[in-house]
Amino acid sequence: MSDGEPPAQAPAAGRHPVGGPLLSVALAAMIDGVHAHSGAVYLLSPDGQVLEMAVVAGLPRAFAAPWERVVLGAPVPVCDAVRGHRLIWVADEEEMARRYPRVSVVLPYPFALAALPVATGGTVYGAVFVTWPGTHAPQLSDREREQLTSACERLALRLERAARDGRPVLPEPDLLAAPLVGGLAGTAGAVEAARMVSRLPYGLCSLDLHGRVAFANPAAAELIGERVPRLVGHQLWATVPWLNDPVYEDRYRAALFSQRPTSFVALRPPGDRLSFRLYPSTTGLSVRITRAGPVAETSGAAPRSADRPSRLVTISQVLALAGALTEAVGVEDVVQLVADELAPAVGSRAVVVLGSRAGRLRVLGHRGYPDPRVVERFDGTPLGAATPGAHALTTGVPAFLASRAELERLYPARSASPDGFAAWAYLPLIASGRPVGTCVFAYGEPHPFSTDERAVLTSVAGLVALALERALLYDVKHQLAHGLQAALLPPSLPPLPGIDAAARYLPSTRGMDIGGDFYDAVPVPGGAAAVIGDVQGHNVTAAGLMGQIRTAVRAYTTVGQTPQEVMRSTNRLLIDLGVELFASCLYLRLEPADGRAVMARAGHPPPLLRRPDGRVRVLDLAGGPLLGIDASAGYPATGVDLAPGSVLVLYTDGLIESPGVDIEDALASLGHRLGEAGELPLDELADVLVGQGGSAEERADDVALLLLRARP
């Protein structure tokens, strides 16, 4: 969730590459300087919206696969560091679970993490994170903080210099310990060490940071049931069928992340139990294998093929996608998450999400197509048309098309609309027993889909389907809420004698995006009347009551009631309705010919007055309680001088209230902006005043603003 404008990014690089491995050297020095055990450098994409992992050190890149490319608004530490322009510190797994649950689901291990922006002034080049074992102190030391900050500043200066000189930063290899594949060095001491290890009665093997076997003694090979040459250079869980289980891989990941010994017991068919004890370091793991005793019964599961390929989508990626999809709100969120987190994992270059309405195909969203018209031409296609997208949606049967020739053979109509891709997977999205859409993955090269790959894609489509069903329902409610809100608020302000007016309304980003904030302006003989108010709540009841109050105020104004009478009458009406909701309100009569405004207030924030000389004053008016509390309450009126050129600012509390900000400071900030921009045309001034609240992606409350300027 971005705070305001996206950060400025470095200019596009030009001709000559940066000399030497800039990023990896900087990262290695940073990790060594604070005695961390892993880390990564991210670079900001040219559009300034995505952080892309450039170099990893100390851990396999696969561990961070869900976050190789992260949208700047994602709830992960490196994004928070960039958006907040500050160091983010996460002390342990409990704090990670509390602050970054999506990360914690994938990496539920004891480790500490620091994330920092790589930036100079207002230009952001990327971000860095480093991690320590869970034994790190609860706080960063001053030395560590200074080391990390200085290192990121130096890296930013080098990137700034490279961008200024037109020198691109080329891809660099990740920094991992080199595997010792092929055995030990041939020195006398090493040979004797190998002999000693070979005589031990229990199994010993060494794994590199990728989990590949670098060395195994004969006892380990005998216990596992594989020859040493077959083990060396391969991951245990990819070579040994009965170890091909995410639970065992998770223990390896836990040991590397926490840098603490871990263990597990595995069943070797038909009935042997083996104990694996993993001892990690920053260069790999040592594994001790012993017998744990027989078991009476064996698992009925058949061994999986030892030659099966590595998993298409890792368990960490599935967990990350599932966690992300639970946070998706609208259809666009679902499309973006599939494009960012799932498409790269399956090797797809483009994504389309299709739905249906009124018997026709609808393109709900797409990513990765250079020419959007290639996709959008299918919008409105009848569901009975002979296209793979319509067929998958109506039948619920997936289609895997390995080449263009196969597509054109099965669907001749598609031959007239090439999209530049060479293979496609059409996955029906089925939720609550019915198809809600189709997810299409497009590939740049011919792509034969294996049985495992088809099963994985079809299964993952189920997660996407549930998220899409929720998103479609949310979007319908969202449109309904905005339609109702638009119907209850005035479509435009009427011309007012001697007064210029402008208004803004911004809905809350929580709930149904509908609330009880309202405003209105009414011409009256000799001037105008204006009202602004806020009914408690963010729901249909609050919106309906807001409409009734606004109508009542108009009626009382039309019959000529004074400001204090309008407030008393509206208060009694609210109590008579018996809805048990309260409302704040500010009502005023404007008499521009006399240079005067008369106001009555019911628990509403005080208005601001900007005089023609630029001075701003908070009008702390006398008033009464909120409407709907006390039937006998009075609402005294206060007169205010309104010289030509003066501007009155009426607003609801959503404009000045936000978590962690003192209301007095927020009011002072609003007055400062009004003083500086008060000479602007009212529409421009309104945009300036709501600018901070308007750009915030998280608004806990509605915002209503009404500006009134006395004409000279």
Question: What's the total number of domains in the chain?
Answer: 4
pTM as predicted:
0.49
Question: Are 112 and 51 part of one and the same domain?
Answer: yes
pLDDT tens digits, one per residue of 274-300 = 999 999 888 889 999 998 854 433 333
Task: Examine residue 179 and state whether it is found in any structural domain, yes or no.
Answer: no
Please tell me the distance from the alpha carbon of residue 340 to that of residue 74, in angstroms, as a whole number: 11
Question: Are 196 and 338 part of one and the same domain?
Answer: no
Question: Are 671 and 585 part of one and the same domain?
Answer: yes
Question: Are 191 and 333 part of one and the same domain?
Answer: no
Q: What is the CATH number of the domain that holds 191?
A: 3.30.450.20
The tokens for 555 are 């009626």
Please tell me the distance from the alpha carbon of residue 495 to that of residue 502, in angstroms, as a whole number: 11
Q: Burial, 536: exposed, middle or buried (Cβ in 10 Å; 0-12, 13-18, 19+)?
A: middle
Residue with tokens 């300087």: 33
Assess contact for 133 and 38: CB atoms under 8 A: no
Please tell me the distance from the alpha carbon of residue 75 to that of residue 100, in angstroms, as a whole number: 7
Question: Are 136 and 203 part of one and the same domain?
Answer: no
> Residue 80 in 3-state DSSP?
helix
Question: Are 125 and 200 part of one and the same domain?
Answer: no
Residues forming beta bridges with residue 216, ordered by sequence position: 205
**Which residue, of 252, 274, 291, is where some domain finishes?**
291
Question: Are 522 and 592 part of one and the same domain?
Answer: yes
pLDDT at 3 over 60: no
Q: What is the CATH number of the domain that holds 699?
A: 3.60.40.10
Question: Are 33 and 154 part of one and the same domain?
Answer: yes
Average pLDDT over residues 403-420: 80
Q: What percent of the chain has pLDDT over 90?
A: 33
pLDDT at position 698 is: 55
Range of the domain at 703: 490-710
pLDDT tens digits, one per residue of 697-707 = 455 677 889 99
pLDDT at 318 over 80: no
Assess contact for 196 and 215: CB atoms under 8 A: no
pLDDT at position 193 is: 65
pLDDT at 65 over 80: no
Average pLDDT over residues 599-604: 93
Question: Is it true that the peptide bond before 607 is cis, omega within 30 degrees of 0?
Answer: no
Q: How many CB atoms lie within 10 A of CB 654?
A: 24
Question: Are 526 and 664 part of one and the same domain?
Answer: yes
Question: Are 38 and 157 part of one and the same domain?
Answer: yes
Q: What is the CATH number of the domain that holds 115?
A: 3.30.450.40
- Name the CA radius of gyration of the chain, rounded: 33
The tokens for 313 are 């989508």
Question: Are 283 and 327 part of one and the same domain?
Answer: no
Average pLDDT over residues 168-195: 61
**Which residue, of 425, 449, 480, is where some domain finishes?**
480
**Which residue, of 480, 503, 522, is where some domain finishes?**
480
What angle, 0 to 180 degrees and rounded to 10, lies between the N-to-C axes of helices 540-558 and 451-488? 20
The tokens for 414 are 């598609």
Question: Are 75 and 146 part of one and the same domain?
Answer: yes
pLDDT tens digits, one per residue of 685-701 = 999 998 754 444 455 67
| Amino acid at the residue 488 | L
pLDDT tens digits, one per residue of 215-256 = 888 889 889 988 888 899 888 888 888 888 777 888 888 888
pLDDT at position 141 is: 94
Task: Examine residue 574 and state whether it is found in any structural domain, yes or no.
Answer: yes
Average pLDDT over residues 348-364: 89
3-state helix, strand and coil shares in percent for the chain, rounded to the nearest 5:
35, 25, 35
Task: Examine residue 14 and state whether it is found in any structural domain, yes or no.
Answer: no
Please tell me the distance from the alpha carbon of residue 548 to that of residue 543, in angstroms, as a whole number: 9
Model confidence at 455, pLDDT cuts 50, 70, 90, reads confident
